[in-house]
Structures are given as C-alpha cells and as structure tokens.
Structure 1
C-alpha cells in the first residue's frame, strides 16, 4: 500500500479526498501541526506528498523546499491559484506536477498513478478494477462482472456506480452525482439522473445486486456493501 501525505488545511476537503483516495487503496495521512510539517513528513515517510500552496504559518513553497532538502519523494501541488508564476515556482522547486482546484477526481487519480509508475514502476492496471458487493467493476471496459454473469454499462452508468461504490454505505447526494456527470446541475433535469440510475439498477438486477443501490428520498442514493469486498 502506498502512503500519501496530504498537506491541506481545508478540513472538509481533506476528509473528502482522504475518503476517496482510501477507496483506491492508498493510505492517506494529514498534518497535525502546520508549523512542524517537515518533522511529520520525516515520521510518516510517505511515498507521495500532495501540498496546497496557501497554508497556515508558511506556504506550500516553503515546505516543498524543506522536503526537497532531505528527500526526492514525488510532490504534487494542489491549488486554487492559477497564476503562471505559481506553476513555474512549483516546478523550479522540484515538484512533479501542479493541479489546479477544482479538479475532477479521476484526473487526480490518473496523475497519481502516472507518478507512481514513473518513480516506483507501479502497475496501475489493477486499480482500474474495484470490487463491490461481490462484483468486479472494470472502469476501463465499462464491464461489471459477478458470479451470475457480466453486464456492460454506459459511460454515465459506470460513473454513477463508481461514485456510489467509492462511498459505499454512505448517501451520495443527487447534486453531487449530477455535478460529477454533467458539471453544472442548473442545466440538467433532475429526472435525467433518475432515468440513468434506474437503467443501472436494471442491469445490475441481471447480476442479482440491483437492490444493493437504494434510493434515499430527498437525499440521494447509497451503494450498500455487506461483504466488505470493495478494495
């Protein structure tokens, strides 16, 4: 298991990213004291550092310099700032990439996997296949396989299933699903999501697991997981 140190002071964003990354089998660590980032880095010994530019005490560039003075660990900057000077600075300090917020989670995963392949000869292919409720979810081929057979999903059906499975046993709001699929919920009919989820359920019914996706009225949907096979 790869260990990621996420240096992010936005507590909500940190926990959201930690939950999503943990679903991809990464161990995610945070910072307890933003005045002692280097010390905590030394204690954790992460395989990858993701760091925001704007932080308490000192900015991300300062901590990048400090980390680079003692380690060649891969570093990815995450920032809502889009000034070219920030991107140039991060590269000059030895960062491996600069990712602007907000970002699509799949893009972040792809960049992380690219860094791991380059630095650690990591084979990312198995990470494309996730297990949920006894089924294998292959995002590359849009196939879901189960002991009862296999079904092929559309792009949107696969995105819905991935989002729900990554947050198994937790309610995913309709708004989050719509934003992830169509970017701006203002121009999408609420019924469009309902139709896609119903189609997904019907296909999963062929595998005997359609009932594992439940509707939470007025809230969203939840992918139940009873056997703990999602990894």
Structure 2
C-alpha cells in the first residue's frame, strides 16, 4: 500500500486529511515532533510527502531540503501562502508541486495520484530501466541521475522527465505544451511559471557537471538541448 507522510501542524486539518486519504487505501503518518521530521521520514519511508510552509521551529522549505538530501520521492506543498514567490521558493527547494489552502480534497487527491503515477506508476521515469547518452552526457532514468565524465548529479523524477524529453529530441525544439503533457496529467492546475522553475533547476544540475548554456529557450516555442558542450 502507498504511504503518505504529512508535515502539518494544524491538527484538525491533519485529522481530516488522514480520514479522507485512508478512505482511498493510503497509509498515512502525521508528524508530531517537529524537531525530528527527517528521522520520522526515514523511519516511515513514504511514497509521497504533503508539506506545509508555516511550521514550528523550521519552515517547510528547510524540511524539503533535508528530505531531498536522502530521497527523491514526490513532495507536494499544501500551504495557505498564495504568493507566487512562495510557490517558486517551494519548487526551488525541491518540491514537485504546490497547492493552496483552502483546497478541495478531490484536487489534493488528483495531485497526489498524478505525482505517484509519475514517480512509480505507468509514467514513471524508471519504467524502462534505460540510459540516454548524448555527447557523453548520460541520463540514467532508473537511478534518477545524470553523469558527464567523473561528475554526477542526482535528479528528481520531474527533472529526469524534462531531460529525458530534451535529450531524446536533442537539437530540436520541444514545445512547452509537450513538456507539460509529458510531466503533468492535470495541466489545468499548473502555473505557467512552474515549468520555468523546473527548467532552471535542470540547468543548475547540468552546471554541477560544468555544462552551461546547453538548454536554450526558444521564445514563443519551448526549449532545445544543444549538445555542443564537448567542444568547449
């Protein structure tokens, strides 16, 4: 059974969320000790995390970073903070999606199911157990990492899906709509800026490998991977 890790200090909301999610067969665990979120996460070993921003002691951005050190499992922020910068900060700190309070429980469920499908189900990055090699840049879709020479960087599954599409169509423009279709089922609920943030994150991962300017923005169309870094 799929396990959901809930980091939220509103006990009434936690109770309602757990009751709702358990009706759909999920196993849930709600954090009670907000000094030990990472330890509880590792002990529970969930498939997905629901994470608030405003928490005792450390905020959700901090805990998202800590989770990302040990796991690439999907992280869905659920927060009353509606500002665009809050959503950008969540994504920059490792989140996979963001939903604001108050929310419809059915939309939360749809978001959860979409992220789970992308991570573990029909559309998971690791379903084919394959590697993609473009000019010695290797994407390992099973291990969720990229390597170039002796350098290696870990990816979230969403970052891996973006690179998968760009590398398979190297030197060709991949439209924004195609990337959204490839990555998210529920495009209606995806802010247009979300894709920009993910592409920025992918560029930063490539920069860890000393690869810069590989992903070009084609104004009004989408993005293109230009594999000319080997000549630099």
Q: TM-score, normalised by structure 1?
A: 0.52
The structure-2 alpha-carbon separation of the partners of 1:24 and 1:122, relative to structure 1 and needing over 3 Å to count, comes to: farther
Matches within 5 A, 1:1-231: 1-121=1-121
| Deviation for aligned residue 1:122 | 5.4
* 8 Å Cα contact 1:2/1:27 also seen in 2: yes
| Deviation for aligned residue 1:32 | 2.2
CA separation in 2, counterparts of 1:120 and 1:86?
Answer: 27
| Deviation for aligned residue 1:56 | 0.4
**Structure of higher CA gyration radius:** 1
Structure 1 segments (4+ residues) deviating >6 Å: none
CA separation in 1, counterparts of 2:4 and 2:75?
Answer: 10
CA separation in 2, counterparts of 1:66 and 1:94?
Answer: 10
Greater relative contact order structure (CA < 8 Å, 6+ sep): 1
Aligned-partner SS, 1:21 = helix
* 8 Å Cα contact 1:113/1:122 also seen in 2: no
The Cα offsets for residues 28-75 of structure 1, whole Å up to 9 and x where unpaired, read as 101121011011111100000000000001000000000001110100
Unaligned runs of 5+ in 2: 124-232
Provide the aligned length of Structure 1 versus Structure 2.
123
| Deviation for aligned residue 1:86 | 0.7
Aligned-partner SS, 2:66 = helix
Aligned-partner SS, 1:69 = helix
CA separation in 2, counterparts of 1:35 and 1:94?
Answer: 20
* 8 Å Cα contact 1:116/1:122 also seen in 2: no
